[in-house]
Amino acid sequence: MHDLSQWIGDVFTWLFRLTGIQEIQGIGNWANDPGPVTFLAIVLTCVIFFVGAFLVGLTVIWQERKTLGRIMDRRGTQVGMIGLFQNFADGIKCLLKEIIIPKEADEKLYTYAVVGIIATSAMLLGLVPWSDRFFVANVPLALLVGLAVFSLAPFFILIGGWASNNKYTVIGGMRGAAQLIAYEVPLLLVVVSIVIMTGSLNFNDIVSYQQNHLWLFIPLFIGFVTFFTCGIAEAERVPFDLPEAEAELVEGWQTEYGGFRWGLIMLCDYLRAYIASALIAILFLGGWDGPFLWPEMWFLLKTFFVFFIMIWVRAAMVRIRTDQILKIGWKRLLPLAVINLVVAVALKAMGWF
């Protein structure tokens, strides 16, 4: 099956032939050259994919607001049709606010931290496919590359907190870096168990393996719980949102960020939560595997379901202390990840999967 960029390239070629562009001297040579056509197809594919991902990001924000409202026995956001326009109103409000940089801040690092967070989130969106026919790039080592990009967040958080020249932001940045590093180790061990089971680091191969066998959350249930917990911590969501704790640290490492920069940071936080949910859906819930509907619909339904569980956890649990966060990561999840790895090796050695 052709991927989306190949299909768009075929559409461009057909349009050029239909409009007679290929017959025009000069322009025709350009239209007949597969290089420019492929480039246009890739650019348009990226635009379509990232617009869809942006809309998904707005959707998960709306989903959280409405779900938390129902759990708290209130309606939640009501701007526009069932509250869908609240996110656009908030975006316009952030866009119109003045961007103020602290006088004593390191302006370059202060800006580069936001750019780094946005860039890594965009790279992750490009690596995670919606199906075997809808993706930006089918990278052979997509899972490894995605985790490597995901692990860059602690550095940008620490840089942003330090560059703001505020003791509260520095503490928030240090907390964020310590927390994310503590939860990346068990997360990587769970990924190793998945690679042992499937024999691949490619998302399409991992989903194909689950289509031919069981969804991996059944044999690797311990790894599923561990990865889900680490995903919540990596996205800095309750109960692991101490780096951004309002009561203890004003607004954590984001204290000195305002206006549209703050809005982009918050949007990236939700995008990272969406990416964590998407990874769980791909690695453990069969990805786009389903008996009917389009595969992209199955993928989004599973992703939204996982994010709903994250919202449920946020509504049911309270924030925990820094020492408790690190204790859970190093003393609880790390042993569970090792046990899950042993289970994966045993199942593979016995030839059950």
Q: What percent of the chain has pLDDT over 70?
A: 84
- Report the predicted TM-score, pTM, of the whole model to 2 decimal places: 0.85
Q: Between 125 and 217, name the one with better pLDDT.
A: 217
What is the reported pLDDT for 339? Answer: 96
Query: Residues 90-123: pLDDT tens digits?
Result: 888 888 888 888 888 888 888 888 888 888 888 8
d(CA 214, CA 221): 12
User: Span 71-77, mean pLDDT?
Assistant: 83
Largest CA distance in the chain: 71
Average pLDDT over residues 310-333: 89
Q: What share of the chain is helix, strand, coil (3-state, %, to 5)?
A: 75, 0, 25
Residue 316 Ramachandran class (φ > 0 left, ψ -120 to 50 alpha, else beta): alpha
**Residue at token pair 């911590």:** 233
Instruction: Give the residue carrying structure tokens 């202390």.
Output: 321
Average pLDDT over residues 321-326: 85
Q: How far is CA 129 from CA 123, 147, 226, 258, in A?
A: 12, 15, 23, 32
Residue predicted with more confidence, 174 or 208:
208
CA distance 48 to 69: 31
Amino acid at 275: I
Contact between 243 and 253 (Cβ < 8 Å): yes
Cα separation, 66 vs 323, in Å, equals 32
Q: Which helix (H) or strand (E) holds 338?
A: helix 334-349
Place 130 in a pLDDT band, splitting at 50, 70 and 90.
confident
Q: Which helix (H) or strand (E) holds 94?
A: helix 86-96
Structure-model confidence comparison of residues 208 and 125, the more confident one? 208
pLDDT band at 28 (very low <50, low <70, confident <90, very high): very low
In the structure encoding, which two tokens stand for residue 190, read together? 């769970």
**Distance between CA atoms of residues 122 and 331, nearest Å:** 33
- Residue 42 pLDDT level (bands cut at 50, 70, 90): low
Q: How confident is the model at residue 218 (pLDDT cuts 50, 70, 90)?
A: very high
Picking from 42-46, 192-196, 247-251, which range would have the lowest pLDDT averaged per residue?
A: 247-251
Q: Cα separation of 136 and 129, whole Å?
A: 7
Spatial distance between the Cα atoms of 162 and 174, rounded to a whole number of angstroms: 9
Query: 244: which DSSP letter?
Result: G
Q: Position of tokens 């520095």?
A: 170
Structure tokens at 74: 């209130």
Q: Around Cβ 99, how many Cβ atoms within 10 Å?
A: 12
* Domain ranges, ordered by start, for the chain: 101-349
Average pLDDT, the chain: 82
Are 128 and 203 spatial neighbours (Cβ–Cβ below 8 Å)? yes
3-state secondary structure of 216: coil
Q: How many Cα neighbours within 13 Å face the side chain of 250?
A: 14
pLDDT in tens, 137-161: 778 888 888 888 888 888 888 888 8
Give the residue-averaged pLDDT of 192-206.
93
